[in-house]
Copies of this chain bind each other. A is one copy, B any other.
Amino acid sequence: MGSSFAFEVTHTDGRARRGRMTTPHGVVETPAFMPVGTQGAVKGVTHRDLDDLGAQILLSNTYHLYLRPGDDLIARRGGLHRFIGWTKPILTDSGGYQVFSMASRRTIDEQGAHFRSHLDGSPHLLTPEKAVDIQAQLGSDVAMVLDECLAHPSEAEAARASMERTLRWACRARERFLAVQAGMADGVTVSNRAQAQFGIVQGSVFPDLREESARQTVAIGFEAYAIGGLSVGEPNPVMYDITAQTTAVLPEDRLRYLMGTGTPADLVESVARGVDLFDCVLPTRNARNGQLFTREGPMNIKNAKYAEDDRPVDPSCDCYTCRTCSRAYLRHLFAVNEMNAATLNTLHNLHFYLDTLGAIRDAIVFGRFESFRVSFHQSFSRQPHDS
């Protein structure tokens, strides 16, 4: 493994930032998008395909890997990178989001989240400390703290209580993280000696709570900071405002990661508000459901009007799918339920996301992000395909 975690902003253009995140498994040019490999694989595409697409970093889900094959097994294999054969950076979430999502199977208290496995009903307890330990065993390059994920909408009082609990959990998580990395946690195998830990800002849609959460989280001190609890059903303008207000409080010299977002337009708007890192299942999940992203808006390949359409999905796209497949063929594969439909659609959508981020990075370097942003929206929101 190489050097430890670092981040530097190399260019700014308005509030948009071009930067470089260094991890033990290599450099990530930011703003960057992380494909989601929930169980140690991005559904439908091989690591080789991800390399070809220019993916710089993967996100993997702690909840799933904890249950199967288990973080102990992965630690015995030398960590997640070696287990799955991915040599570039990996970020793991805390597992909290999945646990909080299964409302009927979990209870939350100050200690942590008590839940039952969705697989066999077995009882488990996810504490801030346990989330640190699991991720230490996985050996991701970036570990996330356990935060409380509040449903939207929430009352201000509930949002404050939750935000404050998240802060207390963040303190516990940081303390545990430092102990674990120092080799002072018995029974925990540290698979990555240079792992970084990101704190998470909560506070729902309330600017004062967000500001307080950001200041207190920064006061604890993490390698970088994430914005959690957005993209959970609030209107887009609210998400954009909260993002802008939060990044304004976060330190300039630390990376900002907007969790679980979003549409291509969301990414552009969030970069405009100072975000550096993204993850989202949208390009991969929607690909499997037949929705393809193009420069001229999304396209539903299931649509009967594509049955005899010999054009590529996006004539201006140079991904493998667009270079070799017609809309007619992709629609056929989807209609007859071939798994290759998922593969080909996912290759295209990930290419679109990663290519868009590449264009964003270039635009920032050349000081023309604002014109990129305007022309992106003009093209993307035309949505002529399925109107």
Contacts and interface: CB of A to CB of B under 8 A. Distances in A.
A281 interface: no
Contacts of A344: 46
Contact of A69 (B48, B69, B307, B342): B307
Contacts of A340: 41-46
B324 A48 contact: yes
Contact of A326 (B42, B85, B324, B338): B85
A329 interface: yes
A359 interface: no
A325 B73 contact: no
Given A77-B328, A339-B343, 18 more contacts: A39-B338, A40-B332, A40-B333, A41-B333, A41-B338, A41-B340, A43-B338, A44-B340, A46-B320, A46-B343, A47-B324, A48-B320, A68-B332, A69-B307, A77-B310, A83-B329, A83-B332, A85-B324
Interface string A314-343: 000000100011101100110110111011
A339 B39 CA distance: 11
A303 to B, nearest CB: 14
Contacts of A44: 339-340, 343
Nearest to A42: B340
A39 B85 contact: no
A108 B43 CA distance: 44
Contacts of A85: 324-326, 329
A343 B83 CA distance: 18
B336 A64 contact: yes
A41 B343 CA distance: 12
A241 interface: no
B335 A69 contact: yes
A84 interface: yes
Nearest to A119: B336
State which size class the interface on A falls in.
35 or more
Contacts of A307: 69, 73
Q: Which 8 A-B pairs have the closest CB atoms?
A: A41-B340, A85-B324, A69-B332, A39-B336, A41-B338, A68-B336, A339-B339, A44-B339
Contacts of A84: 329
A84 B48 CA distance: 23
A308 interface: yes
Nearest to A45: B340
A41 to B, nearest CB: 4
A271 B90 CA distance: 48
A76 interface: yes
Interface string A102-137: 000000000000000000000000000000000000
A43 B333 contact: no
14 contacts: A39-B338, A44-B339, A46-B344, A48-B324, A69-B307, A69-B332, A76-B308, A77-B310, A77-B328, A83-B326, A83-B332, A85-B325, A85-B329, A339-B343
A325 B326 CA distance: 32
Interface in A184-227: none
B77 A326 contact: yes
